[in-house]
Amino acid sequence: MARFNCVTVLAPAKLNLALDVVGLLPGGYHDLDMTMQAITLYERVVLRRSPYLDLRLPGSLVAPNNKNTAIKAALAFFDYTGLLAGVDITIYKNTPVRAGMAGGSADAAAVLVGMNELYGAHLSMSELCALGAKIGADVPFALMGGTCRVQGVGDFLKALPPVPECWFTVVMPDYGVSTPEAFAAYDKVGSSIHPDCGAQEAAIRAGDLDALCAAAGNALEECSGAKDTGAIKTLLREHGAVTALMTGSGAAVFGVFRDEGAARAAAQAAKRRWKQVYVAQPDRGGARVSR
């Protein structure tokens, strides 16, 4: 039984505190070992009951077509539940695109969570994750959120305790990176960076921010071809970041700070050169209905 006519969902963007490529999987996908962290930067997704399937993205250049992860999620939901209905989706995007912050996956997760609520379908988290994994590798994490060790394609998730209190300054350059191209470049040139995700998990369990940062790293950073990465990392470190690295397949780069003042000062300095700069904190959840 449908309970509401309209539901609003908040879905956090993510950062990779670590990303390692540990092998190749059938189908050309890569076997990954990662620490993913949800942050307080949200996609806001409004879903309304409708006989039609419609998508709007006000103020965004992202195309509202059938390739959009939100439409894929709605179709996967209808297919799985057998529900004969539509949905009207409006996405207010706050996450930069082609950034390595899983904005598209957050949109898909928001649609799954929102439709589950809108149509009272009572799908479990594991059912939603199984549906989400077919839409994109990062969708299961976008549903789970918080801090997770993520392995395989992105479908083996282990929830970790919250990270110690910290702040993130995220800088998005004026260009984006294509994820398939970043992995293709990795296949050609490999990487000298292989973070120790086990050590980082232990650091998180011990609540040790220094050890967490010492184990941070991204195996895709060198091959992503993102030309501003080095300059952004230098700026963030000069302003007191404990560590700085690229997230996902790029192009966004972030610093980890102990206190808000330093994070905001770094952001102010970054804004002199880059337009898209964000200050955020760790978020303990994933995509959720906002009341």
Under the binding rule (CB under 6 A), the answer on residue 138 touching ligand C5P is yes
Binding-site member from 2, 5, 29, 120 for ligand C5P (CB under 6 A): 29
Task: Respond yes or no: is residue 138 known to be catalytic.
Answer: yes
Q: Is 30 in the site for ligand C5P (CB under 6 A)?
A: yes
Query: What's the min distance (Å) between Cβ of 179 and ligand C5P?
Result: 4
Contact 43, 80 (CB under 8 A): no
Q: Please, which residue, 174 or 181, has the CB nearer to ligand C5P?
A: 181
Q: How far is it between the farthest Cα atoms of the chain?
A: 56
Check residue 130 for interaction with ligand C5P (CB under 6 A).
no
Of 138, 228, 233, 283, catalytic? 138
**Cα 256–chain centre separation:** 16
> Is 115 part of any known ligand binding site?
no
Among 46, 75, 85, 153, interactor with ligand C5P by CB under 6 A: 153
User: Which residue's CB is nearer to ligand C5P, number 134 or number 264?
Assistant: 134
Restricted to residues 179-218, the positions that interact with ligand C5P (CB under 6 A) are 179-180, 183
Do 109 and 75 touch, CB atoms closer than 8 A?
no
Whether the Cβ atoms of residue 16 and residue 291 lie closer than 8 Å to each other:
no
Out of 113, 137, 144, 246, name the contact with ligand C5P by CB under 6 A: 137
Contact range with ligand C5P by CB under 6 A, out of 112-120, 131-139, 202-210, 212-220:
131-139
97 is in an annotated binding site: yes
The answer to the question of residue 154 lying near ligand C5P (CB under 6 A) is: yes
Q: Is residue 14 annotated as part of the catalytic site, yes or no? A: yes
| By CB under 6 A, residue 32 contacts ligand C5P | yes
For position 131 contacting ligand C5P by CB under 6 A, the verdict is no
For the CB of residue 191, give the shortest distance to ligand C5P in the complex, in Å. 14
Residues that bind ligand C5P (CB under 6 A): 29-30, 32, 136-138, 153-154, 179-180, 183
